[in-house]
Amino acid sequence: AQTVTQSQPEMSVQEAETVTLSCTYDTSESDYYLFWYKQPPSRQMILVIRQEAYKQQNATENRFSVNFQKAAKSFSLKISDSQLGDAAMYFCAYRSAVIFGTLTFGKGTMLLVSP
Amino acid sequence: EAGVAQSPRYKIIEKRQSVAFWCNPISGHATLYWYQQILGQGPKLLIQFQNNGVVDDSQLPKDRFSAERLKGVDSTLKIQPAKLEDSAVYLCASSRPSGRAYTGELFFGEGSRLTVL
């Protein structure tokens, strides 16, 4: 079974600065997806960024980018120019590329953003 | 495109009572998931449906939890009888099947928050 580990229960950053959230995973598969989801307090979980394991290029979505190290099974999220609205719980998640693959989440990292 | 709809948003019950949650996935999404999210933790998969068939229910406490997806669209998750440790947010999500043709992304509803007293 796949496992996802987020070793940082909480991170803090000041507005306009950069923060990196860490994630490692364990799998024996070669084809899979990795995701970062954001969950603001009492609000809906939404996708931040997605990475396909067969793609070597790191995914980027505006201020959000990832550092995907397949051999090391590492998938970190970098948030540049942090904004107050970025404050939320961030979950790293793994999904097998097999047709009925389930999504496995880490325990999450709470990101605090201060003015 | 309408998102994943869930109801009720909040429910408070006494232990040993029963409760049911409803989910309507995004149109065209054949795969539906129920996750349990206990406060401060990551979501844990309870059950996954492909159309109206069960793909994975290995973590569903079958002595008290049940779920069905009639006609491959809406789904209902029931808890009977509820225990204190069932207090959590129950998230419904839907997706297209994983695989090269699709992104693999899950779309989540707003969740149903259950408090068991």
What local confidence, expressed as pLDDT, does residue B98 receive? 55
Angle at CA B97, nearest 5°, toward B93 and B100? 130
Q: Are A44 and B111 a contacting pair at CB < 8 A?
A: yes
Report how far apart, in Å, the C-alpha atoms of B52 and of each of A28, B7, B69 are. 29, 20, 5
User: Chain-centre distance of CA B4, in angstroms?
Assistant: 11
What pLDDT, on a 0 to 100 scale, did the predictor assign at position B111? Answer: 95
- State the nearest Cα–Cα gap between B14 and chain A, in angstroms: 23
- pLDDT at position A15: 97
DSSP A93: E
Provide the 10 A C-beta neighbour count for residue B10. 11
pLDDT digits (tens, 9 = 90+) for A24-72: 999 998 889 999 999 998 788 999 999 999 888 999 999 999 999 999 9
State percent of chain A over pLDDT 70.
98
The interface residues of chain A toward chain B in range 18-47, judged by CB-CB distance below 8 A, are: 33, 35, 37, 43-47
A97: nearest CB among B41, B104, B109: B104
- The C-alpha atoms of residue A81 and residue A61 are separated, in whole angstroms, by 13
Q: State residue A103's pLDDT score.
A: 86
Q: Using the 8-state DSSP alphabet, how is residue B96 labeled?
A: P
Among the partner-chain residues A97, A104, A105, the one whose CB lies closest to the CB of B99 is: A97
Contacts of B44 in chain A (CB under 8 A): 105
- Contact between A78 and A66 under an 8 Å Cβ cutoff? The reply is yes
**Closest alpha carbon to A11 in A25, A2, A22:** A22
Structure tokens at A29: 């598969």
Half-sphere exposure of residue A29, counting CA atoms within 13 Å on the CB side? 18
From the list B33, B28, B73, the residue with the least C-alpha distance to B49 is B33
Range list of β-strands (E), A44-100: 46-52, 60-61, 64-69, 74-79, 88-96
CB B111 within 8 A of CB A44: yes
* pLDDT the model gives residue B103: 66
CB contact under 8 A, B42 and A95: no
Looking at beta carbons, which residues of chain A come within 8 Å of B2? none
Chain B: residue nearest A48 by CA?
Answer: B105
Query: Cβ contacts (< 8 Å) between B110 and chain A: which residues?
Result: 43-44
CB pair distance less than 8 Å for A100 and B56: yes
pLDDT < 50 positions in chain B: none
| H or E element that contains B19 | strand B19-24
Banded model confidence at residue A18, pLDDT cuts 50, 70, 90: very high
End-to-end CA distance of chain A: 41
Cis peptide before B97 (omega within 30 of 0): no
